[in-house]
């Protein structure tokens, strides 16, 4: 009887100490992030046969309270130079705009368009907008299991959109290391089938370790075998950025 009681006590203690999927994602979401960032990104589109197309991008982002803004401008090559993408999130609402210099006009990205390919890459417009992280309140999070990768405990968490939430994916599964709580890998599913895999290949500390920011990302479409790699360059943290940057006028500026 004593053994039974001891076993029950140990089990109850282990359960009490266990972390839930919700708690894991709260820790991911609780990571401090810069008030602003500016830098250059190199985008590589890699075909199944290995053909590579390279693009250079300038990125600005800024957040204040419940408002987040991001502007992406293509610098090269010539066929995409001047194209700009603006996203503004505030009060649970999001606005996306795309400027196409060939047409000399700004158009809104709305509805199902947000789920479409961003400039021929394996990222959708939604993916790009959510690089800073999910709105975890819109999802139900379940801890599937823990794994060990290189001596580090890794939580495997499944996130499913709550009823009424318009999501590009039926579910996401994230591999979250216990030492950083910055996801190493995220699998995206459509109608229950694996669709894409995002891998954070490099995460660097900034501001004396205050921030941990992925600087080398790879998104692979498992259906087509096509990949897109994004690499951050000369990233500047917590720098002054004028609000005028996040306007249609600046989008059109050459």
pLDDT of 173-183, one tens digit each?
999 999 999 99
Question: Where do the domains of the chain lie?
Answer: 20-252
Q: 82 or 91: which carries more pLDDT confidence?
A: 82
Query: Tens digit of pLDDT for each residue in 29-67?
Result: 999 999 999 999 999 999 999 999 999 999 999 999 889
3-class DSSP state of 230: strand
- Hey, which bits of the chain come out as E strands? 36-46, 52-64, 67-76, 84-90, 93-100, 105-109, 139-149, 152-161, 171-177, 185-190, 193-206, 211-221, 227-237
User: What's the gap between Cα 102 and its chain centre?
Assistant: 29
Q: Cα separation of 117 and 148, whole Å?
A: 34
Mean pLDDT of 105-134: 93
pLDDT at 28: 96
> Are the CB atoms for 19 and 141 separated by under 8 Å?
no
What is the value of pTM for the model shown?
0.90
Question: Based on the number of CB atoms within 10 Å of its own CB, is 181 exposed (0-12), middle (13-18) or buried (19 or more)?
Answer: middle
pLDDT at 116: 95
pLDDT at 135: 87
Q: Which CATH architecture has domain 20-252?
A: Clam (2.50)
pLDDT at 171: 97
Mean pLDDT of 99-122: 95
pLDDT above 50 (res 243): yes
């Amino acid at each position: 009887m004593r053994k039974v009681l001891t076993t029950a006590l140990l089990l109850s203690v282990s359960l009490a100490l266990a972390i839930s999927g919700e708690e894991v994602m709260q820790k991911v979401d609780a990571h401090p992030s810069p008030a602003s960032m500016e830098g250059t990104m190199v985008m590589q589109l890699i075909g199944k046969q290995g053909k590579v197309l390279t693009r250079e991008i300038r990125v600005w982002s800024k957040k204040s309270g419940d408002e987040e803004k991001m502007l992406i401008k293509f610098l090269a090559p010539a066929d995409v130079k001047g194209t700009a993408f603006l996203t503004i999130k505030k009060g649970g609402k999001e606005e996306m705009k795309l400027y196409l210099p060939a047409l000399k006009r700004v158009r809104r990205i709305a509805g199902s368009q947000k789920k479409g390919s961003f400039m021929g890459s394996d990222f959708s417009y939604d993916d790009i907008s959510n690089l800073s992280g999910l709105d975890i309140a819109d999802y139900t999070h379940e801890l599937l299991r823990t794994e060990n990768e290189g001596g580090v405990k890794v939580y495997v968490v499944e996130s499913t959109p709550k009823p009424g939430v318009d999501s590009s994916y039926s579910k996401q599964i994230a591999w979250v290391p216990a030492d950083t709580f910055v996801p190493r890998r995220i699998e995206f599913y459509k109608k229950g089938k694996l669709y894409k895999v995002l891998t954070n290949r490099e995460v660097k500390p900034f501001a004396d370790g205050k921030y941990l920011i992925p600087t080398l990302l790879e998104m692979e479409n498992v259906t087509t075998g096509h990949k897109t790699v994004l690499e951050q360059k000369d990233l500047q943290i917590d720098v002054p950025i004028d609000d005028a940057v996040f306007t249609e006028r600046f989008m059109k500026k050459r």
